Structure 1
Amino acid sequence: MTFSELYASLSDIKRWHRRCVVSSGAGDVYDADASFDDVVLRLAARDDITDFRRLLYVHLRYKRIELWRKNARWQSRVYYPQEYEEFGATADRTEPDRAGFIRELLDRSNEPVAALIADLARQTDGKESISALAGRVGLHQKTAFRALRRLRRYYDADKDGDLAEYLA
């Protein structure tokens, strides 16, 4: 069997793969066709295959997962206009979602802890202790410490930046 005959006989799988890629959001029609061609060419070069169609389905599934991951990475990047970069180059930087981060912290907490966090945000001098803040909000200090310790695991200073920037 020649390669062109093999490729023509796989047209139903190509349509199925194209439909799967587009419906899952992993890519567009051109990504689906390119990934299908890559997999078929790679498998056609092998001589040890007994069930070509079955192996093709497996490799196409892995290729769809790879496409989905690649496109998810591209969609998470923020591109800045040319006037912000020297020589008109774009920069691949991920912007933290500040409003979403605050909402996420407050959604995970109950009302007294949310009030304590809001109170901490208004405190800019850093001279007042957490015990004093908890007393002002009406919580026992150990309750406030436990609640803040639970919230601390969702916050990464290296990734998210300064907490005062988010809550101010």
Structure 2
Amino acid sequence: MDFEQLNIKAKAHLASPNDFTFSEMYREATKLFQRMNRVRITCNRVGDDNDADELLDKVIMKVIAKSPDNFGAEMLRSIRNAQLDFFKTERRRRTRYELTIDAGSPNSEVADGDDKYPIETEIINKQRKKEADQRQLIDFLSDPAQVDEDTTRIVSIFSEFPSIRALAKALGLHYEYVNRKLRKLSRRYDANRFGDLNDYLAS
């Protein structure tokens, strides 16, 4: 893999950080790593293209902050490590989710009384489902794999800005990075079940 152009653009951004130099570096990094990263994430059926792109964004932001001499080589190493972490975290999250669903299922004692007390049974089942949903929400909001520090910052103030670009600029983040964070959150957060996410994350 040829990192020459990427290293040149990374050095240009580090020498003169601005939206233009960042975009140039970002486009080159995406061109080199996006397809490879997507294939690795999706072939295991653990994540999708959006998960892969969000992971790549995180790595780009992390590596550029290190100001390495060989940006491309550090990117490749960091992506491989991030992929392994993603697989471990996602499998743990899915296991917790399955356990939560099992814990929220009606027990056999309630099932035996369905015919005799249908209304009472329905109320009990709804309450148990609500409690299970609440546990899922707590897990969701406390899981760094779902809501990291940047996502919390983004959601807590996004309503104060007229556009994602304006929000990204205020936070000192690239707009595409912010955009992907919001897309990921909207895919995994059930607003119909939990209500407005901003109510939970607003400072």
TM-score for both structures, normalised by structure 2? 0.40
Pair member with larger Rg: 1
Structure with bigger helix share is 2
TM-score, normalised by the number of residues in structure 1: 0.48
